[in-house]
A and B are shown apart, each in its own frame.
Chain A
Amino acid sequence: MHWLRFVALLLVATLLQADLLNAIEVAGIKPDLHLILLALFAIFCEPREAIITSFSIGLTADLIGPSMGPGTLSFGLLGCGLCYLSKYISLRRMLFQAVAIFVLGFTTAVFAYLLSLFQTQPAYPKSLGAFLGTPLYSAIVGPFLFLPIAWWMHIRIQRRHSRRRSNY
């Protein structure tokens, strides 16, 4: 893993997510770049890297989010979950990747909302847009962003698949 490249990518994604993506929002819903990154690293990285990247992505999502903590935990734990799950499920096709992003987005949103209830001022949204709209938009956009991000991060998507295939 090229960690410097990862930090740069995360920073750019966070700054874009903070305000710039509002320009392409549809009915108040915009794609979640952090979610797309989470899915990419969880699917295509080794477990150790996936754990670190998931929590880092969650932490930066919290930095521009309503409160600190829920995003870090939900992104971190569910990203790790997807990483371990991707050992058993092949997510090579774009459609499967889109479904993975959608399911991951829905579960992280619900989990983050539930975790935020432990805080003194629960601030996470519980709207339909947050639970379904954002994951759906991210699922549509995400698989197309996988290739350029993988190229930037020097992640060989194909190699991992072929290795996995040989294991079976």
Chain B
Amino acid sequence: MARKRREISNRMLLVWLTLAGCILLLAPQKITGKFQGAFTHAFRFPLRLGRSVTLSARIKNTSDYDSQRTIQQYENHIANLAAELEQKNRQLEALAKIRYRQHGLEGAALVVADVITANLSGPRNELLINRGQNDGLRLDQFVLGENSIIGTISYVWAKQARVKLITDSSSRLAVIPIKSGQKPVWMFGAGDGQAVIRWAKAEPGLWEKVLVQAYPGRLDCPMITGRVSECKRNDKNALLWDITVRPDCDVAMLGSVTVIVTDTSR
């Protein structure tokens, strides 16, 4: 007996596919994000190749770029050391008899990871890196780029992880603006490569440093994260300031990042 072939009409096909799209739209992003993760994991080699080609195309003069990058790294390192020194001095003044570690990252393992893809436009600013749970990465660990804090781990797979950048719209970090002696304030990601500090009480100078405050167990001393790029009075209260912060390194140009793995016992 010949089997009758069922034909679905175009209209039904459109309805079914639209329904499938709606399910995908309304499904929790944690679940649908796994599809994206699986795709990038499956095609990580061509994606990484594409990124290296892009980077090499962007860098027109390699020696100039290398020297600029080195200077930037040293500047950030000096800024980190200065912040650390200042913190140590304050601690020394208050707790002169207590012993503490010499270096903020002394107890941490630093895991270097290659950037697979970078999403830097719009409200979601993320990197996908090629290290994961197997390398000791856990949620909320800080990530360094050119010696400055660029974000935190937001999702971990076995061999990959997603880094939520400080400019991501869902990012929130306690930072110490301008002078490390001030009280920490919240810095919120604003998307498109920017973060904002709202309702600051003092006006900072342009290009002044912004430091992430120490998070015990995750970051032992303040570290530089960005610089003030714009400062304007708050629309509602003229006594307060809205500060725009830009990351201290060009995240789009990063080929690799470093994850601060503090809990090395795992």
A-side residues, CB < 8 A to B, are: 15-16, 18-20, 22-23, 28, 47-48, 51-52, 55, 58-59, 62-64, 66-70, 72-73, 76-77, 80, 115, 118-127, 129-130
Contact = CB atoms under 8 A, between A and B. Distances in A.
Contacts, number: 117
Given A70-B25, A124-B122, 4 more contacts: A66-B123, A68-B29, A76-B18, A119-B29
A19 B51 contact: yes
B98 interface: no
Interface of B: 10, 13-14, 17-18, 20-22, 24-29, 32-33, 35-36, 39-40, 43, 46-47, 50-51, 53-54, 57-58, 117-119, 121-124, 169-170, 191-192, 252
A15 B48 CA distance: 10
A76 B17 contact: yes
A16 B49 CA distance: 10
Q: Do most interface residues of chain A lie in helix, strand or loop, or is the interface mixed?
A: helix
16 contacts: A15-B47, A19-B51, A19-B54, A28-B121, A52-B13, A55-B20, A62-B36, A66-B124, A68-B24, A69-B27, A72-B20, A73-B25, A120-B29, A121-B169, A125-B121, A125-B122
B36 A64 contact: yes
Nearest to A48: B10
A120 B101 CA distance: 42
A69 B117 contact: no
Contact of A126 (B13, B20, B122, B170): B122
Contact of B53 (A23, A73, A129): A23
B50 A18 contact: yes
Contacts of B252: 22
A16 B50 contact: yes
B17 A118 contact: no
A80 B18 CA distance: 11
Contacts of A125: 121-123, 191-192
A51 B17 CA distance: 9
Contacts of A20: 50, 53-54
